[in-house]
Structures are given as structure tokens and as C-alpha cells.
Amino acid sequence: MTTMIEIYTWAYCPYCIRAKALLDKKGVEYSEYCIDGDEEARDKMAQRANGKRSLPQIFIDDRHIGGCDDLYALNSQGKLDPLLEGRAA
């Protein structure tokens, strides 16, 4: 089973770039939704992200992970790799 990773971003957001860099370093594929200035897309993202409107917002297998700091925290706790491999952490 392939793990589905989705990330909502803005093109020049430093946190978005940092989150994508970690995913790239892990060698995983992800779907990026660059929503620069698209308030309708941001509203839809916020619905999925329990009301959070900051960027990036990251989802793994439809599970809301959070933002860049949350992604890095999972990684430092050793919980990110199992999620990326399709095993619950």
C-alpha cells in the first residue's frame, strides 16, 4: 500500500520549504497544493485541519499531522518514518 502524503503550501513560505525539504530528504513522494492567495482552497484546507489556517498543513493517509514544527517533532521522536511507511505511529 502506498502512503498518501499531502502538503498545503505557499510558494515562498520558509516553513513550507523546510517541511518539503524534510520530506524530500526522506525520499517520499507527496502531493503539494500551492494555495497562494486562494481563500477558497485555504477554507477547504482549514476544514480538514481542524480550523488551522497556517501553512504548511500536512496530512499523511488523510491524518492531519499539523505544520512544519509538528512534522519535525514527529521526526525527532522517531514517529515520522513509521507513518511514511504506512504504519501507524
CATH code reported for the domain at 5-84: 3.40.30.10
**Domain assignments of the chain as residue spans, ordered by start:** 5-84
**How does pLDDT run across 47-82, given as a tens digit for each residue?**
999 999 999 999 999 999 999 999 999 999 999 999
Q: How far is CA 4 from CA 7, 28, 40, 47, 58, in A?
A: 10, 10, 23, 19, 11
- At residue 31, what are phi and psi to the nearest 5 degrees? -95, 125
Q: Inform me whether the pLDDT recorded for 16 exceeds 80.
A: yes
Supply the angle between the helices 68-76 and 14-26 in degrees, to the nearest 10.
30
Q: What is the pTM of this model?
A: 0.93
